């Protein structure tokens, strides 16, 4: 896992450590020392801790004018043992929502599995977004199934068009616009069409 680096091609456009409004503002990274671990596996030092021993994040971009954030995740999403959704909500999302962010793109290619608990924090997050949304891109099928099994998929927007999106081919604003385009088109389709919520 120490070779898996957060996506870095947008660093010329945004860094969380350089954003005065970011929870990671001013953070210094040591590229030569591996200190964070998930179980017995060291993580690349560019990943940020939100307080969980198993789930780490990287805020790749925040567009304050357009009110969106793109967050990449790595590890095991474990609400059962570590209440990861509470940590994500209280330590990261709440600060963003207070600044007007109401559209979240979560990149989950490196989320290996999910262990659920109750849905209180998901419901709270969803209720605070007004006309916003939480979109999932790149999550593994078994993780999406685990979200569905625990009935928290109702708080996310996902589906084939989003989950298979080649997000690295876009710049952040383009990705946001593509996701919005899919969501807007989805509204016009019935539940039998390919854009339905999973």
Q: Is residue 107, in this structure, part of any structural domain at all?
A: yes
Q: Is residue 192, in this structure, part of any structural domain at all?
A: no
Q: Is the pTM of this model over 0.85?
A: yes
Strands (E), 15-125: 37-38, 41-42, 48-49, 55-63, 68-78, 103-115
Any idea what the CATH number is for the domain that residue 182 is in? 3.30.750.24
Q: Is residue 3, in this structure, part of any structural domain at all?
A: no
Q: Could you tell me the maximum CA-CA distance found in the chain, to the nearest angstrom?
A: 52
Which helix (DSSP H) or strand (DSSP E) does residue 112 occupy? strand 103-115
- Domains in the chain: how many in total? 1
Q: Is residue 66, in this structure, part of any structural domain at all?
A: yes
Instruction: List the chain pLDDT tens, one digit each, 198 residues.
Output: 567 899 999 999 999 999 999 999 999 988 777 778 888 888 989 999 999 999 999 999 999 999 999 999 999 999 999 999 999 999 999 999 999 999 999 999 999 999 999 999 999 999 999 899 999 999 999 999 999 999 999 999 998 889 889 999 999 999 999 999 998 887 654 344 444 443
Identify the domain containing residue 50 by its residue range: 16-187
């Amino acid at each position: 896992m120490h070779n898996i680096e957060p996506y870095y091609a947008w660093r010329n456009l945004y860094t969380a450590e350089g954003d005065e409004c970011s929870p990671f503002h001013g953070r210094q990274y040591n590229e030569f020392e591996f200190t964070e671990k998930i179980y017995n596996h060291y993580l690349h030092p560019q990943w940020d801790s939100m307080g969980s021993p198993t789930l780490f994040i990287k805020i790749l971009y925040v567009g304050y004018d357009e009110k969106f954030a793109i967050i990449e995740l790595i590890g095991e999403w474990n609400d059962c043992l570590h209440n990861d959704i509470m940590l994500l909500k209280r330590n990261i999302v709440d600060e963003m929502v207070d600044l007007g962010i109401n559209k979240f793109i979560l990149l989950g290619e490196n989320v290996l599995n999910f262990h659920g608990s109750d849905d209180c924090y998901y419901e709270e997050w969803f209720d605070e977004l007004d006309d916003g949304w939480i979109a999932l891109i790149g999550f593994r099928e078994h993780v999406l199934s685990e979200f569905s099994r625990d009935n928290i998929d109702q708080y996310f927007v996902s589906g084939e068009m989003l989950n298979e999106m080649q997000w690295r081919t876009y710049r952040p604003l383009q990705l946001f616009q593509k996701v919005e385009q899919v969501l807007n088109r989805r509204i016009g389709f019935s539940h039998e069409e390919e854009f339905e919520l999973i």
